[in-house]
Amino acid sequence: MINYPNGKKIISSQSTVNHTSTSRRGMTLEHDINQTNAYYLSTDQAVIHKKPTPVQIVHVDYPRRTAAKITEAYFKVPSTTDYNGIYKGKYIDFEAKETASKTSFPFSSIHPHQIEHLKKVLAHGAIGFFIIRFKAYDETFFVEASKIIPHYLDGQKRSLSYKWFKQEGILIPFGLCPSINYLKVIDQLYF
């Protein structure tokens, strides 16, 4: 539930439960990562946050004093990656993506400025990676940015196959607390 300053209460549509299935349909990768990061913060394991996207508000309607409504806004600059923070003294920066495809993850989902940003992050000794979810299989993979960047920049492929992720990525099992324990993978690879 979201409480707004004007007193209205909005109930998130994600709280709806499908009683006919035990799958996590409707849960997004972003939602799962945000819950995981909140858990990491509350247990003092890491400080990792979703980066806000800079937006320029152009026009706001005020039908009444307590009900402002943004009617026109634009992105100021392209955002870099989705998340950043610190874990065990190391800077962490990563992008999270979902695909509905059963066969591959399309490079069109990644923007060139995100690749350039991650290249710079890696060049300075930080930990940069992707978390990619194949929604059809409800599988989430951790992949080091250094493995995806060369394929992206090569220009030979438009995507990476699901099979590639099974071989090169690390499957992050879904858990209860935290739901996507990617710090466990970071511990295996870097510490």
- Give 26-51 pLDDT, tens digit per residue: 459 999 999 999 999 999 999 999 98
Torsion of CA 77, 83, 84, 86, to 10 degrees: 170
Whether pLDDT at 172 is above 50 = yes
Of 116 and 17, more confident: 116
Whether pLDDT at 86 is above 80 = yes
Average pLDDT over residues 5-9: 52
Contact by Cβ (8 Å): 130, 164: no
Contact by Cβ (8 Å): 118, 152: no
Residue 77: how many CB atoms within 10 A of its CB? 9
Which residues, 6+ apart, have CB-to-CB distance to 51 below 8 Å? 79, 80, 81, 82, 83, 84
Read off the pLDDT band of 66 (50, 70, 90).
Answer: confident
Read off the pLDDT band of 139 (50, 70, 90).
Answer: very high
Full-prediction pTM beyond 0.85? no
Judged by DSSP in three states, 163 sits in: helix
- For the stretch 9-28, pLDDT in tens is 544 444 333 333 334 444 59
| pLDDT (0 to 100) of residue 110 | 94
In the chain, what are the domains? 23-190 (3.40.1350.10)
Q: Do β-strands 170-171 and 139-144 pair in parallel, antiparallel, or remain unpaired?
A: antiparallel
Question: What are the tokens at 34?
Answer: 């945000």
